[in-house]
Each structure stands twice: as structure tokens, then as C-alpha cells.
Structure 1
Amino acid sequence: MGHALGERYSKENNNNLLYSWKLKIARKLVFSKWQESFGGHLHFVISGGAALQPRLSRLFFAAGIHLMEGYGLTETSPVIATNYSKTPGNLMIGTVGPIMKNIEVRIDEDGEILTKGPCVMKGYYKAPKLTAEVIDKDGWFHTGDVGEIINGRFLKITDRKKEMFKTSSGKYIAPQAIENLMKESIFIEQAMVVGESEKYASALISPNFDHLHSFAHEHKIHYRDNKELIKNQMVLKTYQKEVNHANKQLGQHEQIKRFRVVCEPWTAPTGELSATLKLKRRVLYNKYADLLRKIYAYDAHEENKGSISFNGE
């Protein structure tokens, strides 16, 4: 009851009497225990360092814990934008909030976020060449992140510039935006979108195994291990349904044409994620090189044209 209700949290739903009544009950019966587990005095949490799934934000807000997402870099001392729920109109779930006072932000032609203001560093210590690479002659600091400004106020981060890739048709794809959309599904814990120099985008999916195991129990799916579970036809049809749902929200060239579900969770301790829970793409490309070759129908001895042939960490 609590999770499904919480993930529907929004300003519009809060004005719905039935939803508000259900949320009040959930806060008393379910979310009050969350509060207790945090000590009973937690009112807000600040999130940064990696992309935050909007459904998690909605869930925490429903629980009465305001989850504020912000954005900045060490070079910007460090905050550029942040959500703040105490002031009306200064919160938009799915963004990193309004741009702070005295800070300028503009989106470059290629989508990169540029910023200027008193928070920006003067330069890297004794490294003028490196400084010139990130601060242009007009004083704009190039963040390396790709994003957009919503409603003229709210900054939304969509990807890292260096992680964008181009398909063989010349269309650019921002993988992180698609991955975050896919992770809105309760069945998907992590996803990696690939397709550089290929005809179409594909994805590797690491399941939310806690939920998948519950799903298997509910539908009387018998399996010996995760490797056998992900090959089950009902499971594969379920993941196809989730991918189809994400595709409906994407442009034609961004849609995931093929995907594979893997049998391992991706974590920082096992090496697939960084300490801030970002994908280690090179590690994943190497780990699943054979699987990626099969997606694009390469022979075992054949070298691919694009991103599958990463080597090293």
C-alpha cells in the first residue's frame, strides 16, 4: 500500500480528497515506521552526486521526508541549483531545482550546461592550459553535464556530455536520460544503454531482484537461481512490457530495440558501480562483451564498430 501510493505523490494528487485520505492512513500505518527508523526527527534529506529517480523522491515526500536534490561541482563552490520545499514554487521533482541567486546558467548548442558567477573558481592551481579547457574567454565554466531549463527556472540534468554517443545514422543519444526512465520501473534496478555507431540503441538490464523474486513467488515460477529465473518466458515478457512503456516516452531514434536481462546485481562492492552509484561503463562493456556482441549479431571473432570493444577499466 505505502510504496504504490507514495510513488503517485504529486501536487495534483494531494488536492484529490481520496488520495489525501489514503496518504494520511499510509503515513500513520506505514511511513511512521520509516520516521522511527531514522530516529523520529528527520524532516529532509539532501541528495547529490548521482541522478535520483523521481519515483524515489515522490516516495520520500509521501513519507513526510523532503528529499531535496541539488547540483553543483567542486569548481562551482559547489552549488548551482537546489530544490527547497519550504518556499512555495521552489520545488520540482525530477529536476535539481531553481538556479541560485547571482548565478547565471545557459545551455550551449550541444546541450552542455554552462555557468558563470562568483561561485566559479578562478582556475586550476598552476594549470592554465587545463583551466582554458573548462573556462572560455567569456568566463563561462563548461560543466561537462548535459541538461535543460524547465519553465525558465528549474534545471534538469539529463546526461554527461562525454557519455553521449552517436548511432550509425548520425543521431545523438543521451544514455543516462533513457536509463533513468527505465529505472522508473520497479522491476529494473540498473540499466545501461548502448549503441554507439550501431543502427539502433539496446540495453542491458540488471533486475530489482527483491521485487522479481516476489513476482516469481506470486506467479508460482519455479527456478533454481537467478540465471534460470531471467530466462523464464513470463519474466522476459514482463521486462519487454516495461521496455515498451519506456519507449513510448522516447523519440524514435532513442527507443530500445533489443535488450538483455543479466543475472547479477550491479553494485559498488562488485565493481559495476562507482562509490556514488554511477555506472562504470567500461567495466560493464568488458564484463558483458560477449552478450553485447550477440545483441548486435557479431561473430565471436568479429570486432564491432562501436562501443563494445572497450578495454581496461
Structure 2
Amino acid sequence: MDVTIYEVAQRAGVSIATVSRTLRGTGPVASKTREKVLKAVEELNFTPSRLGVSLAEGRHAANGIVFPNLSGPYYTEVLLGYEEVASELGRSVLILSTTGRTRVRDLVKDLAGRVDGLLIFGHTAPDDVIAELIQVGMPLVFVSREPLAGADTLRAENTASARLLAEHLALHGYERFAFLGAPLVTGDDVDERWQGVRSVLGAAIEAVPTGHYTVDDGHQAALRLLRSGDRPRAIICSDDEVALGALLAAEELGLAVPDDVAVTGWDDIMAARHARPALTTIRQPMRELGARAARALDELITAARSTPNHLTLTTELVIRASCGHHPQEEPR
């Protein structure tokens, strides 16, 4: 891995701020100290990076967010929660959306060089870039990712809620299921949901790819699935957008929900409550995820704490009509 500004400072016996001032010429540095820094730079063959020098100077009042995209209600809610708190803390927010972008590695590193800390969603940033950011001491908070050494992680609970949902559907007597929302990335939210439902339903459920977690992709995948000769009796969707697409597909094919096929989602976005039929789903605290992430990142930036936290927020099964819920039943 490339030599960092921290290694130069250690070799020269000075602070990283002194290394930064020497290389940029932005402040007074004694001649002997300057000589030591330049000697260390030469011995280590150090090439200054914008990221390392910017971190050394600590000169930003902005946070960065790296999301796959901002087109869905889930990302919007997380961002709203984040921005509200960041604004209270006097920090601006720079956003990088990676979907459809080339040179993501360079874009993430460039953003890191312009902010005091980063919120990164899931696995949107390459692993080698994350390793470099951790090494140089960049304050990092990850949302919807498994615990990672050297950074905060924040996510909503998935596995237990998925099991609870699967158990509820099994009690309805359904025997054939599909999980709509793959490909699956090990350790991410959707994979945990899949693992949870599969632990209950076993061979009775299959994973069906959607490509992306959108209404359109859910609609197309559900059309193919429901047109097949051996269609499932219940479709468990990776999120509410995919589930709304499945509801549209069932309607297009003249199938009644839940009488012909049950459909469930995840997130409890506003549209889930007003769908026809109303969507059974798992409610997760999307805006709270963003708000907590902003506060966690501020704690790391201001050195209020130095030990990473790994926090999981509670989710809730919300039973509505799309799974076969009857009026006399009480939602859990």
C-alpha cells in the first residue's frame, strides 16, 4: 500500500500538520524541521495525496455521503434525516451517487479530500479505497453494512424480522414462496433478509433476481414469475418498491392479492400504506438511520470519541391486507 502522510510524520518525528505545512508552504516551519520532513519524504518515496494532506489540515466544514443513487424513497428518507442533523451541527453535505458512474474509486477519494468525514452506504465504495481511508484516519460511518474494523456501522435489524415475517406467512398455510430481490451481496441488508426468510421456509422459497430494487424491476421480475407454470403462492420482496411492482404485475395479469398471490415488502414507505391492497411490510426507521449517522460522524470528526460504534436499530412487522390479513386480526 502507498506510504501515508502519517508514516512521513513518524519518520521525521513531527506532527502530520507540520508535514502538511512543509509540503504546501502554508505556514512557518523551522529550517531544520523542514529538512527532516523532506528527508523523510525522499527516504519513503512519498507522493502527497489530496486526501492525506487535507485530513492533516482539518480545514473542512463539510461531510460527504456516498450512496448508490438517490432516486428511491428509502435513500431520500435517510438523506433527510442526515441533512437535518448536519445542518444543526453547522456542516454542509456533499453527495456522490455511484450508480452508472465510471472511476468510482477516484471519485470517492476525491470527495474524501474535500470533506471532514464520510457516510458510505453499504458496499458502494471499493474495499481497497475503504482500507486506505481507514489507514489515513478518515472519520467513517457506514449505513447498512456488516460491522467493519476502524469505522462506525449503523443498520436496521433484518434477520429476526425476516424470520418473523416468514413465520407469519407460513401460518397462513402458504407452501410455495419466492424472494424477489437479488442478486445478493454477502453481509448487506437484502442478503440478511433472504437468510432470515430462508432459515424458516427452507426449500419452499427461491430467490428471484430483479437487477435493481425499483418498481420497474420488481414489476418485470414479478411478471415473469407469475406467468410461469408453477407460480408461488406468496412473494416476499426485498423492499417496498419491488413489492409495489409485484402488485402492479398481479393486477396486470388479473390476479387478486392476496387471494391468488400474497405480496410483502420492506421499509414501510408512505406508498406501502396507501397501496391497494395495503402492503404488509417491515417498518424500519429510515430517517433515524440518517440522523444517527450524522451525529456519529460528528463525534468522530470532533474527537468526542475515538472507538468505533456498531449500532443496530429495531424494526417492526406491520401486517396489512396484502398477505391475507383479515379485519379481525390485530397488526403486530
Q: RCO greater where, 1 or 2, for CA within 8 Å and sep 6 or more?
A: 2
TM-score, scaled to structure 1: 0.26
More helix per residue: 1 or 2?
A: 2
More strand per residue: 1 or 2?
A: 1
Q: Larger Rg: 1 or 2?
A: 2
